[in-house]
Amino acid sequence: MIKIAQIGCGYWGPNLLRNFQQNPNSEVIAVADPSQESREKIHSLYPEIPVQETPDSLFANPELDAVVIAAPAKYHYPLAKTALESGKDVLVEKPLALNVEQGRELLELSVQNERILMVGHLLEFHPAIEKIRELITEGKLGTLHHLRSTRLNLGKIRNEENVLWSFAPHDIAILHRLVGSTPTKIQAQAQTHLQEGIPDTVHAELTFADNVQAHLHVSWYEPVKEQKLTIIGSKAMCTYDDVSKELLFHPQYVDTDSTPPLPIKDQHHEIAFEPKEPLAQECAAFLTAIQTRIPPLTDGQSGLQVLQTLETIQALIEQD
């Protein structure tokens, strides 16, 4: 039984706690959160779990195997660093840290101390994304040409981080994974309407090897919730709508041997995928990594790569 302590049980933390409590391979032995309201809520839901205000005493607990960090992003680096230095395996919510230097230090610490470091890039464990990866790997889409990812909504509007750092880590992680590499060139611009110095809309154009292009659009200042992913290949295309939960295969392409190039159109069809909860898959992957000592899908290295792309986009929108 893997013994876990969780730090942070505010907005997202209760979802992680629920999954680790329900998993037969783990036992949550402590929760820490500075908010009295959060502590009271967790105590009412799980009276058997000790709840405390600060995490300081947890790191020295010899019974503790792993730490799950669901605190605000500015605390990810110091908490993960202390946990790794204390010999604990770590699952930290996205982003890994707030800059590349911090992320690289955490990765190096995990290697030096032979600890598992995992980042909560949740959508990489989504069954629809796994199905899209299969389509690409099996060659059913042909050569990748263009990807488009949109994540739009009205709120939750934050003041401790901009929309890029709040929304885009998920999309960037998916784009990296589907293409199989990181961008070689990035262009970006942002719009700021609601809070000075905190962009609420970001557009980015990412160029990968072999001229694979990707467009990223994130905003918390939109009237309609939209979370869509489009992949265009030389043989076919596919789309995933995370609001309607529809994964569609479009057997359409452009015959470039024709002059001029000729669009070949056909009727799309829906692709079924297992109704697995992505967070349950993520938590199970962390526990498996602890047991096997094999780095998980969203390990520290992939978390650092996402951080590098985020930091590059941030620098570009600051120049704009």
Please write the tens of the pLDDT for every residue from 198-208.
999 999 999 99
Among 83, 117, 151, residue at a domain's last position:
117
Same domain, 61 and 140: no
Same domain, 76 and 161: no
Same domain, 156 and 8: no
pLDDT single digits (tens) 6-30:
999 998 999 999 999 999 999 999 9
Among 85, 117, 149, residue at a domain's last position:
117
Among 74, 89, 117, residue at a domain's last position:
117
Same domain, 146 and 228: yes
Residue 320 has pLDDT above 80, yes or no: no
Distance (Å, rounded) from C-alpha 174 to C-alpha 179? 8
* Residue 12: exposure state from Cβ atoms within 10 A (0-12, 13-18, ≥19): middle
Residue 159 has pLDDT above 90, yes or no: no
Same domain, 36 and 56: yes
Average pLDDT, integer, range 250-257: 91
**Is residue 22 included in any domain, yes or no?**
yes
| DSSP characters over 267-285 | --EE-------HHHHHHHH
Same domain, 101 and 6: yes
pLDDT single digits (tens) 219-247:
999 999 999 999 999 999 999 999 999 99
Task: Dig out the tokens for 100 from the structure.
Answer: 């590349």
Q: What is the CATH number of the domain that holds 166?
A: 3.30.360.10
Strand order in the sheet with 51-52: 51-52, 26-32, 2-7, 66-69, 89-93, 117-120
Provide the residue range defining the domain that includes 245: 124-278+309-319
Q: What share of the chain is helix, strand, coil (3-state, %, to 5)?
A: 35, 30, 35
Distance (Å, rounded) from C-alpha 83 to C-alpha 2? 16
Same domain, 153 and 45: no
Classify 316 as helix, strand or coil: helix
Of 190, 2, 199, 153, nearest to 90 by C-alpha is 2
Same domain, 100 and 173: no
| Residues 149-165: b if buried by 16+ CB within 10 A, e if exposed | bbbbbeeeebeeebbbb
**Is residue 292 included in any domain, yes or no?**
no
Q: The pTM is what?
A: 0.94
What is the CB neighbour count within 10 angstroms for residue 265? 11
Position 156 scores a pLDDT of: 82
**Is residue 283 included in any domain, yes or no?**
no
Distance (Å, rounded) from C-alpha 53 to C-alpha 51? 7
**Is residue 301 included in any domain, yes or no?**
no
Position 157 scores a pLDDT of: 83
Task: Dig out the tokens for 98 from the structure.
Answer: 């707030």
pLDDT single digits (tens) 61-87:
999 999 999 999 999 999 999 999 999
Domain count, the chain: 2
